[in-house]
Amino acid sequence: MNFDDIKNRIKAFVKEELFPLEPWILNCSWDEKLPKLNELRKKVKYLGLWLPQIPKEYGGLGLSNKQHGEISEILGASPYGHYCFNCQAPDAGNMEILIEFGTKEQKEAYLSPLLAGDIRSCFAMTERDFAGSNPVNMGTMAFKKDGNYVINGHKWFTSGFDGAAFAIVMLVTNPEAIEAHKKASQVIVPTNTTGLEFVRNIPVMGHAGNGWESHSEIKFQNVKVPLTNVLGGDGEGFTIAQKRLGPGRIHHCMRWMGICERSFDLMCQRAVSRELAHGKTLADKQTIQNWIAESRAEINAARLLIQDAAHKIDTQGAYKTRKEISIIKFYCANVLQKVVDRAIQVHGALGLTDDTILAFYYRHERAARIYDGADEVHKSSLARQILKEYRI
């Protein structure tokens, strides 16, 4: 099966299997929809399309970052596309971390069932009391005692914690380290460990969700896990995080392009069908025409930027591509917000309801300008890198 075959099969699956479900699946609980999603996951496995982002030796399709970016756009058109193919955040990133940094024992206990789709995972980094724009400041600490890490701290926006089997937790293990980026480690914590408290699923614009579709607040109160649960090594937390973030941002940005294309399509359909007076539609209005033209140009430009960054990650590595990664993160997040907002405006009151998917996108994707680094942080970082070249 060549790459064009893979793309065509995935396009057909999303269109035929996922789009028709949306009126029901978007408005029911996770427990209600999970049996159907599991059924679709089995079908994806049968079709040989499981784990597009994972190397072949681990049971995946072995796609490059650039190729998976194209797949991610197709899957992004549906909120459940990535989940059905087992390449959803945060599990996809955790798979990649475990493949590269996990020990044999960690891979057997956590990676294998994650790849099989038998369990879910989560990544706990964000803290309510510390600015995410400066991640070296964290309040979650672990000290070593009798062969264990003893963890205390408070995390929130731990996406998918509800129902996950384990968390990869970013925390401080070496508070006295001279170099700030050597203070933190990533440690595997099973979610049933004594002292790990689920506080709540955080309502996002009025919707708390549950299961994979949730962001949890959690607390660690003298949580004990073996020292062997560390990933990579003590003090390697930020090194691992950088490995995760480059490809992860490609996946996010191309998923956003899928959302943009779906929203654009709905906007154009509404423009030509909504009659304002006899023989006159929204599509005849210059403002609507401007929005459509601007959206088309912005989506095309964003896609090309992502493809360029993905190609450079594949050929040069994430570190040498950090400028391009910052560019796509803030540029594409803003294109996403503008396109979805225009589509809602063209739909009028209908766009605010759950009769279309646009309100769902608006609620859940406004966060794109915040998570994985706020726009302002990426712009500042990019500008500093550019200005270095002028100070030589």
Handedness of CA 126, 237, 389, 308 (dihedral sign): negative
CATH number at residue 180: 2.40.110.10
Continuous H helices in 15-103: 22-25, 30-46, 65-76, 81-84, 91-101
End-of-domain residue from the set 231, 262, 278: 231
Q: Clarify whether residues 247 and 224 are in a common domain.
A: no
Question: For every one of its 392 residues, what pLDDT tens digit does the chain have, with 9 covering 90 and above?
Answer: 899 999 999 999 999 999 999 989 988 999 999 999 999 999 999 999 999 999 999 999 999 988 998 999 999 999 999 999 999 999 999 999 999 999 999 999 999 999 999 999 999 999 999 887 777 889 999 999 999 999 999 999 999 999 999 999 999 999 888 888 899 999 999 999 999 999 999 999 888 899 999 999 999 999 999 999 999 999 999 999 887 777 778 888 999 999 999 999 999 999 999 999 888 999 999 999 999 999 999 999 999 999 999 999 989 988 889 899 999 999 999 999 999 999 999 999 999 998 999 999 999 999 999 888 889 999 999 999 999 989 87
How many Cα atoms sit within 13 Å of 294 on the Cβ side?
15
The pLDDT assigned to 244 comes to: 74
Q: Clarify whether residues 172 and 81 are in a common domain.
A: no
Is 157 part of a structural domain of the chain? Answer: yes
Q: Clarify whether residues 8 and 128 are in a common domain.
A: no
Q: Clarify whether residues 210 and 244 are in a common domain.
A: no
Q: Clarify whether residues 305 and 210 are in a common domain.
A: no
End-of-domain residue from the set 72, 88, 104: 88
Q: Clarify whether residues 193 and 289 are in a common domain.
A: no
Q: Clarify whether residues 145 and 215 are in a common domain.
A: yes
The pLDDT assigned to 88 comes to: 95
The pLDDT assigned to 207 comes to: 87
Is 380 part of a structural domain of the chain? Answer: yes
Domain that holds residue 50: 3-88
Judge if the upstream peptide bond of residue 90 is cis by omega within 30 degrees of 0. Answer: yes
Q: Clarify whether residues 362 and 274 are in a common domain.
A: yes
Is 197 part of a structural domain of the chain? Answer: yes
Is 133 part of a structural domain of the chain? Answer: yes
End-of-domain residue from the set 203, 231, 259: 231
CATH number at residue 249: 1.20.140.10
The pLDDT assigned to 65 comes to: 87
Q: Clarify whether residues 356 and 266 are in a common domain.
A: yes
The pLDDT assigned to 17 comes to: 97
Is 243 part of a structural domain of the chain? Answer: yes
Is 218 part of a structural domain of the chain? Answer: yes
CATH number at residue 77: 1.10.540.10
Q: Clarify whether residues 227 and 190 are in a common domain.
A: yes
The pLDDT assigned to 176 comes to: 87
Q: Which of 371, 382, 361 is nearest to 256 (CA)?
A: 361
Is 99 part of a structural domain of the chain? Answer: no
Continuous H helices in 193-352: 237-273, 286-316, 322-347
Total structural domains within the chain: 3
Q: Clarify whether residues 158 and 254 are in a common domain.
A: no
Q: Clarify whether residues 302 and 280 are in a common domain.
A: yes
Q: Which residues of 41-69 are buried (b: 16+ CB within 10 A; e: fewer)?
A: beebbeeebbbbbbeeeeebbebbbbbbb
Is 210 part of a structural domain of the chain? Answer: yes
